[in-house]
A and B are shown apart, each in its own frame.
Chain A
Amino acid sequence: MTSEKKPGKTARYGMTIDVDRCNGCGACMVACAVENNVPPAHEGATDRKGITWIRVFQVDNGEDYPNRRSAFVPVLCQQCGKDAPCVSVCPQQAVEVDPATGIVGQMPERCLGCRYCMVACPYHARYFNWWDPAWPAGMEKTLNPDVAPRMRGVVEKCNFCHGRWHAAKQLAAANGRAIEAVDYVPACVEACPTRAIQFGDLNRPESAPAQAAKNGASFRLLETIGTEPKIYYRSKKNWVRQISSAPKLGLGKESSRG
């Protein structure tokens, strides 16, 4: 028995990212770190040990000058909509999907730090706290009181700014109604100067991600593995759209910015 879900009852929060608009400025990364109390990288951290819930990758078409073209691809937790690989593998239920929003959440206070979820995630969107979080003297005053910093030895990831969602939910409750996706935007969406990132409820046909899902220029990363991500990327360029598929030898080059 199947029936279409009525908008407003349950939601599927998602995003659309216009790759053609992204100029790789990294404002989303900074806003995300500030909003979610991600500490400055430890002096021993490398590109592969730092914490960036959203990371902008530079990709190119693999051609030589003058035909070389570049694009910037912000990658965050893809909020898998079907059998999220990280959820089923966690041995102690520290990863859960909120049935009301579809957000894949992480409970750092229950996390064992086994990192099995990181191995399971094909998008490399999960980060481990290799060091104790530390802020330079005075900088602790800038911490967001709505978000608890995570301790050493646990995994964390993008949760569509849970602190903001919670504040919006409380406000909505105070006004006697349930929260809707339009009640808040994650920090990266707010910070993007080119409005390349947009947020909304995929169950609402008028929302930007729902519109993007229908757009012919849209694609999702690794759709073939069946994880049904809720992040829709968009580009009019054919070579950019190819990043949705499995790696091909010699195509493109990874470099992360920020």
Chain B
Amino acid sequence: MDKEFIARGVKRCSTPRFLLWIMPWLALLAFGAYSAGLCLVKGLNQTNMDNRFAFGLWIFLDLTVIALGAGAFFTGFLLYILKLKELSAVINSAVVIGLVCYSGAIAVLMVDVGQPLRAWFTFWYPNVHSMLTEVTFCISCYLTVLAIEYLPILLKNRKLRQVPSFLVFEYELHKLVYVLAGVGTFLSFFHQGSLGGLYGVLRGRPFAFREGFLVWPSTFFLFIVSAAAVGPSFILLTTWLVEKISRKRLARPEVLQLLGRISGLLLSVYVLAKTVDTLIWINRTSPDAGFPAAQYYAWKPFGTWILFAEIVLFGMIPALIMLTPRLRRRTGWLVSAAAMACLGVALNRFVLTVQTLALPTLAFDKFLSYWPSWQETGTFLAVVAYGVLVYSFSFRYLQLFPEERELKAEVQQEEEELPVMAGRY
């Protein structure tokens, strides 16, 4: 039915099968849209956030997906600026993932604020001292960059290529790709950092507060490194996942191994920096604010295990796996390490967003708990469903993996050669 939209030389599942795949995600998106609609129409009283737990699941989601979506800018940076040509095999997929993550995060942010119609105020009355201003500016600009980067991928669609002006437009856009990669990298470095700074500057929350360099707390730099580290891991993970679901070879194992190596290298830098930062915070920053760091971990369930999980289990161990060539060559190890790295960054964002607010600051405060309402969870799930849908449509109708055709031919050749080989023995 939709064959003329599917790229030549690649095989996609039948239309009914594709519809069957997208149905549950559409249902989830509809449920999420209803949940978000309730929050917009009836107000944020639909959530379980409150005056003490003013940020909740959504901010955790935003910080996490933006870190995972960092693969878009970082792969672009490695490919176009550092000329790692092998990564051209996954750059289109990285752009779609980035677009999904950033647009999803912005959509949730619009539901998360009490007065979404006043969002433009930040551009009109910007407070240059606020990390949130920097985040708003950079995310908006970078989303525009991603949308422009997505256009050539979209215009390469078999049907759209039949329109000559689209071809010209796509050709012209291609000339901009280096500029876009540079701008995207600059913007991404800043907003990844600002997202870290968002909590690092909170002097009133000694659990999150960090010293730093000039106006930037250490979390600013830690967020940049951690996002750059897990971005390639997430690309690796999604590529592997899409290969499994579609039962196709999409990228050469060397490409995935390269992504793993880059991720491992940056993750080890992050683990080292995070360890030094934690030691400074435990021994100087927090005690200087009158808060001995040990007390944070006395409030259960947030014991010292969380620090161990963040730095060692989901930091050092995946870094070592991805840096060991023998383990990296084994898909199971590589994918598990990438998943652990992604979990580690999600845990780090959880600690900063949720644990910070759960801990008491006043002597007569209680340790607080928070559980998201179904409307919050529904909105969260809508972003997941939206991401899966955009990616599924992009995968079906666009060329997300340029090497797919080549790999398919190789697989066919191998299959044709096999009986001959068998005959010889």
Residue ranges of A at the interface with B (Cβ–Cβ < 8 Å): 42, 44, 46, 48-50, 57, 59, 73, 75, 83, 85, 88-94, 110-116, 118-124, 126-132, 151-155, 221-227, 242-249, 251-254
Complex-state Cα separation, A90 to B119, whole angstroms: 13
Can you name 14 extra interface pairs (CB under 8 A) apart from A90-B132, A115-B55, A123-B204?
Answer: A85-B203, A88-B130, A88-B201, A89-B201, A93-B127, A111-B118, A115-B49, A116-B198, A124-B51, A130-B43, A154-B114, A221-B362, A222-B290, A226-B203
**Distance of A53 from chain B, by nearest CB (Å):** 11
From A85, A120, A153, A253, contact of B115 by CB (8 A): A153
Instruction: Look across to chain A and name the residue whose beta carbon is closest to the beta carbon of B50.
Output: A48
Interface centre among B290, B291, B362, B365, by most chain A C-beta atoms within 10 angstroms, is: B362
Complex-state Cα separation, A85 to B114, whole angstroms: 20
Known: A114-B113, A152-B114. Contact between A88 and B127, CB under 8 A?
Answer: yes
Q: Inside 8 A of A253's CB, which chain B residues have their CB?
A: 364, 366
**Distance of B123 from chain A, by nearest CB (Å):** 9
Instruction: Look across to chain B and name the residue whose beta carbon is closest to the beta carbon of A71.
Output: B364
Instruction: Look across to chain A and name the residue whose beta carbon is closest to the beta carbon of B47.
Output: A130
Q: Inside 8 A of A248's CB, which chain B residues have their CB?
A: 295, 363
Q: B114–A243 contact, CB under 8 A?
A: no
Complex-state Cα separation, A115 to B109, whole angstroms: 12
From B43, B112, B205, contact of A131 by CB (8 A): B43
From A128, A132, A247, contact of B360 by CB (8 A): A247
**Distance of B51 from chain A, by nearest CB (Å):** 5
Interface centre among A122, A151, A152, by most chain B C-beta atoms within 10 angstroms, is: A122
Q: B127–A128 contact, CB under 8 A?
A: no
Q: B115–A154 contact, CB under 8 A?
A: yes
B125 interface residue per 8 A CB criterion: yes
Q: A246–B295 contact, CB under 8 A?
A: yes
**Distance of B48 from chain A, by nearest CB (Å):** 10
B226 interface residue per 8 A CB criterion: no
Please, what's the 1-or-0 string for B96-140, where 1 marks a CB less than 8 Å from any CB in chain A? Answer: 000000000000000011110011011011110111110010000
**Chain B interfacial residues counted at CB < 8 A:** 52
Please, what's the 1-or-0 string for B292-329, where 1 marks a CB less than 8 Å from any CB in chain A? Answer: 10010011000000000000000000000000000000
Known: A128-B114, A247-B365. Contact between A91 and B132, CB under 8 A?
Answer: yes
B361 interface residue per 8 A CB criterion: yes
Residue contacts A-B, CB under 8 angstroms, 28 given: A42-B45, A85-B202, A89-B132, A91-B126, A91-B133, A92-B124, A92-B133, A94-B121, A110-B121, A112-B118, A112-B121, A113-B115, A114-B113, A115-B49, A122-B204, A122-B205, A123-B361, A126-B51, A128-B51, A132-B43, A154-B115, A223-B290, A225-B290, A246-B290, A247-B361, A248-B295, A249-B295, A252-B363
Q: Inside 8 A of B390's CB, which chain A residues have their CB?
A: none
Complex-state Cα separation, A203 to B43, whole angstroms: 43
From A90, A120, A131, contact of B202 by CB (8 A): A120
Complex-state Cα separation, A248 to B365, whole angstroms: 10
Q: Inside 8 A of B49's CB, which chain A residues have their CB?
A: 115
Interface centre among A42, A75, A126, A152, by most chain B C-beta atoms within 10 angstroms, is: A152
B54 interface residue per 8 A CB criterion: yes
Complex-state Cα separation, A251 to B129, whole angstroms: 37
Q: B295–A113 contact, CB under 8 A?
A: no
Q: Inside 8 A of B366's CB, which chain A residues have their CB?
A: 253-254
Q: Inside 8 A of A111's CB, which chain B residues have their CB?
A: 114-115, 118
Known: A91-B126, A93-B127. Contact between A113 and B50, CB under 8 A?
Answer: no
B216 interface residue per 8 A CB criterion: no
B289 interface residue per 8 A CB criterion: yes
From A44, A46, A110, A119, contact of B357 by CB (8 A): A119
Q: Inside 8 A of A249's CB, which chain B residues have their CB?
A: 295, 298-299
Q: Inside 8 A of A247's CB, which chain B residues have their CB?
A: 295, 360-365
Complex-state Cα separation, A223 to B132, whole angstroms: 26
Top 10 A-B residue pairs of the complex, sorted by shortest distance between their CB atoms: A113-B114, A153-B114, A224-B290, A122-B204, A48-B50, A115-B54, A118-B54, A91-B132, A243-B363, A130-B45
Q: B362–A119 contact, CB under 8 A?
A: no
**Distance of B274 from chain A, by nearest CB (Å):** 22
Q: A116–B363 contact, CB under 8 A?
A: no
**Distance of B39 from chain A, by nearest CB (Å):** 11
Complex-state Cα separation, A139 to B114, whole angstroms: 26
**Distance of A252 from chain B, by nearest CB (Å):** 5
Q: B132–A116 contact, CB under 8 A?
A: yes
Q: Inside 8 A of A89's CB, which chain B residues have their CB?
A: 130-132, 201-202
Complex-state Cα separation, A107 to B56, whole angstroms: 24
B72 interface residue per 8 A CB criterion: no
Complex-state Cα separation, A118 to B205, whole angstroms: 11
Q: B127–A92 contact, CB under 8 A?
A: yes
B44 interface residue per 8 A CB criterion: yes
**Distance of A224 from chain B, by nearest CB (Å):** 3
B52 interface residue per 8 A CB criterion: yes
Instruction: Look across to chain B and name the residue whose beta carbon is closest to the beta carbon of A51.
Output: B51
